[in-house]
Amino acid sequence: MPAPRTAARVTSGQLVFGNPEEAKGGRSLLWSCDNGRRVGVTMKAVNGSVKLNGAAVAGVRQVHAPPQPTPSVDDDGGAFRLGKFVEGRLVYRQQFVIRSYEIGPDRTATMETIMNLLQETALNHVMCSGLAGDGFGATRQMTLRKLIWVVTRINIQVDKYSRWGDVVEIDTWVASSGKNGMRRDWIIRDRNTKNMIARATRETRKLSKIPEEVRQEVLPFYLDRSIIAADASGGGGSKIEKLTDSTAEHIRSGLAPRWSDMDVNQHVNNVKYIGWILESVPQDVLEDYHLTSITLDYRRECRQSQLLESLTSMTSSAAAELPLPASSRCSSDLQSTHLIRQQDDRAEIVRARAEWSCKGHEVRSSSPGMKL
């Protein structure tokens, strides 16, 4: 079994990985996890101080990192799987190409695709930070205490959907949320234009007090920057009203979670709820409108044995400002409210609220100055 690897968090912002075995002169060979490649550095303790490649640094803290496969001469897969750190290592950036199986009938990436890319970027951020334990996205201290992250709410706003073959660039970072929660934010840019095309924010559920050991693990990575204001339209902290049989206009029953819908914690993957929500959205809305914003409020976990129902209510927003093309069937933009519940006892699983823009409209432009 290979020796465990370690990571060092240094005040200069350098994060290094390596085996604890000694090189000549008492030096330890380490590897940088940055820019999707490995860069060799050396660390040496001299009279109580630490030097990286001969330069003195202070405030070194050792934490464990997961074992990483040693690439062969022809294996550069890490360059495609991992991104890089920017802004003093507080922001993690990764690029993805939109695949043919990630687009929908209108030949653009689906909302499920966007959520999957956000999740992948977040997990790679944790891994490349040297925080990952044995759990799925959990830190070492969380793994020791058998804790997992549980999402309470996510809000995604899309200005433009990418097409097959487009390359997107995703930035993500974390911050505290209240006393016992954590928030993660993302922005998505078109790689060629660098224009921001989507943004998202997610909060974890405050089930219990975050242990101080876990807090100290993630504290060096906190960046106090919100990409979506709490009172922004369609997202933030505003309450989503509960739908009932009398208030819902469309109900789809008999939705059965499959084994492939489960995550590693034996709960339905958060992304899967998007598809079930769309099951009760009228067909003409799906054909004529873009889903420009959605907020999901997760109420409880769902397992495979539970049959689900999807409820939807559609309302018209203010009249469109732009003239509609003659061929468009849209009269105005739309808002919708959704509920995913258990079919037997009608227990709530997810509440959601969404905004829809007619495909004949230009989507709202990105906020100025957001080319971070």
Could you list the active site residues?
Answer: 265, 267, 302
Comparing CA positions, the residue from 92, 78, 95, 91 lying closest to residue 38 is 78
Residue 234: how many CB atoms within 10 A of its CB? 17
Report CA torsion sign: 266, 270, 275, 277: positive
Distances (CA, A) of 22 to 67, 147, 181, 240, 291: 18, 34, 40, 57, 55
Residue 351: how many CB atoms within 10 A of its CB? 22
Distances (CA, A) of 365 to 70, 157, 159, 185, 197: 44, 11, 6, 19, 8
Residue 208: how many CB atoms within 10 A of its CB? 8
The residue type found at 135 is G
Distances (CA, A) of 228 to 101, 201, 233, 371: 29, 7, 9, 15
